[in-house]
Structure 1
């Protein structure tokens, strides 16, 4: 819950050249809204939230789209795009729930793999900086990131119980301490400013609502709904809870949309349920939704404590990036695990996965591959998650739902969660 908001705001600040005051303000807002969203998803008030141990964080792929829109059309338009997309999600959700059968583990698993690879790249750019920029891939920064990863591995190996579950946080702290010893931390503004503050609403000014500029983000939201479907299923499996996919998935998506709507007013990109959180659940064995709710409450408090945001803001990006790479890679593993249930020995399933991965990972592997396309088309194509998810869904329909005599691929609902012994859901 710490690595993602920090890395997202660091990347956003560095890419869009935001001043330190705005960066600290956005970091406070990210902590606050991550906490609010986690409370919504974990506790499930009314029709919002599936009551699973979810946390909500600024999204990886939506962050990239947000920055692309900001660079093309300005920060006010990017903020408007977030607000439009949140409203769009509420509008299309009733239709989406009728299309869930077109998103089997084959589609969801492929998309989660692409999401994981994209997020690892986001973490890596925090370490290296942008290619061609001064100091790109500085050996000292790389060494600090690798040391942070090594410390996380070491803590996981040597510690037991609760301390082992805190290996990522301890790795961040130890990596920052190492950076202090090597002179890579600049804490000049750490003690300045007030103790308690409220994040500033609309930090970039009045939003500009441009449907054309917002279109890539709105299209991505469809893929995000499918991603939320897979995450809800995987999370329910991780905690041993029997769910109704037709009611619980919409609750997850509504929680996403509501938190994104609130976050948009504070200048944040779309907020999404966290795939890496599911990895933490798997690794630690902590399955209670009240743990994520309590952690969400802590984040809400931290969002109002400005010294915390200032302290985090001096944490070296190489340390944050190293920890983020380790945590984000868990998503890829979860996607591979889901693909293991997708009958890849079937040639059509293997081809669907292969083509979707090729197109979805192309902008990651070959940056600038779509530079010759018009800007609106380029923004969409460069979202490998959206392209990969759409490709997998279309090919799945083509191979398994069109024509007579073709066996439909098993739906997410059909393969989602096996029945558990009585009381398991209550314990989760």
Structure 2
């Protein structure tokens, strides 16, 4: 009997080229979180390169775990895993609340380790409780992720240093606008592989255009080694703070919810429907990958949804192709010079691309909300209040100034507070006191597999 297309091993050359295509489609999504967090901490170019390489390396390991699998770990589907965007806003909130910035990464790493281990233990139960995270909840949270990240793109567009004389200058904003225009033109007038890597090409072209303006620094590449290894605990031993752990546990819940939806969608596309056993195995891979990632200085990992679209487009369903992409990620993580290339990209250029990248996250949240039965007043109320609660830290950054610093780590993350509000309101309005009839009032991911296959999603929530 012939192997299922998911288990097919393609010729080496085709395996390598199609694997690289998966890497190209998700590369910008992997390197953006360490750039955001590293900039918030104020890391040097060398440390920023190291952090980016570490995230590439751990993304490769997590991809191996998901595609190849061991024991009851791994969905064994063509999933690319990488740093989840959902954790960016909570991590920057942790950075902002940490007086000694050198402690920020150890605190984040400690929180991710605990959240990953708890998620691993909860995976068999979580796959049964997914009905409490319908589109009205996940759509609200994904929208908040995009809205929370957009100010980062706007800050990048103005320049790397708010104290610099050229911060917000016409040159910087012009470079951001040109990069945005390039990405839009590539997405509009190209097809296939070029269209898939439009953001990556936009970064390259934008960087080349920026050279005559003197804002491109090739120093990080010149100083980077060709071969290196993400030394365990490079930034210090993990520290465990309760508020940070709670914040990252909320992110883990969001990440597990999105991964479940992604597995349902991908299972339909590759014609190997994801059952409860597959979902539990996939969640174990996500959470274990997240728990191991900080050992090598990486962040929380989750499935990347944009690669699902690539599988649907190319019709190449082999999980070994994606595993080959994981191999390239590991190799890039072991080559600091390759990782340092992203440090060359001027912040305004990153800002222009970030508008597309982060804005698409918010748009995918809106797409999810389309399935949330918003013709019902209860669901409209859930979305309205949850979005309002989640937007508070963005529109009124000092709103919680009177609260203790430990509490502000959670409260200053609109994603965390918005998620908690959405889950609680959904329980109150769509579950409590409604017996077994809540399913008639709201569609949840376990009942929307076919719809999910036609819903493109951005990388941020995955």
TM range (shorter): 0.7 to 0.9
TM-score by length of 2: 0.81
Matched residues in 2 for 1:369 and 1:50: separation? 42
The alignment of Structure 1 onto Structure 2 pairs a total of residues equal to: 418
Map of 2:232 onto structure 1? 201
In 2 relative to 1, CA 140–37 (structure 1 residues): closer, same or farther, beyond 3 Å? farther
SS in 1 for 2:82: strand
1:127 and 2:164 equivalent?
Answer: no
- Contact 2:159-2:347 at 8 Å conserved across structures: no
Equivalent residue in structure 2 for 1:173, among 194, 200, 204: 204
Matched residues in 1 for 2:218 and 2:240: separation? 38
Residue by residue over 1:277-318, the C-alpha shift from the partner in whole angstroms, topping out at 9 and shown as x without a partner, is: 456667x66663555433322221111122212222212122
Map of 1:150 onto structure 2? 181
Map of 2:369 onto structure 1? 339
Residue by residue over 1:345-400, the C-alpha shift from the partner in whole angstroms, topping out at 9 and shown as x without a partner, is: 11112111221222122222333322222222221122222222222222222122
For structure 1, the 5+ residue unaligned runs are: 421-428
Per mean C-alpha deviation after superposition, the further-off stretch among 70-79 and 196-205 is 70-79
Matched residues in 1 for 2:265 and 2:414: separation? 22
- Contact 1:6-1:320 at 8 Å conserved across structures: no
Equivalent residue in structure 1 for 2:250, among 196, 219, 243: 219
Write the mapping of 1:398-413 to structure 2, written as runs, cut at 5 A.
398-404=428-434, 407-408=437-438, 409-413=442-446
Map of 1:140 onto structure 2? 171
Map of 1:267 onto structure 2? 297
SS in 2 for 1:370: coil
Per mean C-alpha deviation after superposition, the further-off stretch among 145-154 and 321-330 is 321-330
Map of 1:425 onto structure 2? none
- Contact 1:232-1:249 at 8 Å conserved across structures: yes
Write the mapping of 1:3-14 to structure 2, written as runs, cut at 5 A.
3-14=28-39
Map of 2:347 onto structure 1? 317
Map of 2:144 onto structure 1? 114
Matched residues in 1 for 2:176 and 2:69: separation? 37
Map of 2:333 onto structure 1? 303
In 2 relative to 1, CA 406–207 (structure 1 residues): closer, same or farther, beyond 3 Å? closer
How far apart are 1:202 and its partner, in Å? 0.5
- Contact 1:276-1:327 at 8 Å conserved across structures: no
- Contact 1:118-1:364 at 8 Å conserved across structures: yes
- Contact 1:48-1:251 at 8 Å conserved across structures: yes
Equivalent residue in structure 2 for 1:57, among 82, 96, 100: 82
- Contact 1:56-1:274 at 8 Å conserved across structures: yes
1:21 and 2:46 equivalent?
Answer: yes
Write the mapping of 1:339-358 to structure 2, written as runs, cut at 5 A.
339-358=369-388
- Contact 1:352-1:396 at 8 Å conserved across structures: yes
In 2 relative to 1, CA 419–28 (structure 1 residues): closer, same or farther, beyond 3 Å? closer
Map of 1:293 onto structure 2? 323
In 2 relative to 1, CA 418–344 (structure 1 residues): closer, same or farther, beyond 3 Å? closer
For structure 2, the 5+ residue unaligned runs are: 1-25, 454-462
In 2 relative to 1, CA 207–196 (structure 1 residues): closer, same or farther, beyond 3 Å? same
Map of 1:368 onto structure 2? 398
1:210 and 2:235 equivalent?
Answer: no
SS in 2 for 1:417: helix
- Contact 2:58-2:330 at 8 Å conserved across structures: yes
TM-score by length of 1: 0.87
Matched residues in 1 for 2:80 and 2:62: separation? 7
Equivalent residue in structure 2 for 1:184, among 202, 215, 218: 215
In 2 relative to 1, CA 100–162 (structure 1 residues): closer, same or farther, beyond 3 Å? closer
Matched residues in 1 for 2:391 and 2:141: separation? 10
In 2 relative to 1, CA 151–68 (structure 1 residues): closer, same or farther, beyond 3 Å? same
- Contact 1:80-1:208 at 8 Å conserved across structures: yes
Matched residues in 1 for 2:320 and 2:151: separation? 32
How far apart are 1:175 and its partner, in Å? 1.0
SS in 2 for 1:98: coil
In 2 relative to 1, CA 160–85 (structure 1 residues): closer, same or farther, beyond 3 Å? closer
- Contact 1:276-1:331 at 8 Å conserved across structures: no
Q: Considering only aligned residues, what root-mean-square deviation do their CA atoms show, in Å?
A: 2.8
In 2 relative to 1, CA 354–131 (structure 1 residues): closer, same or farther, beyond 3 Å? farther
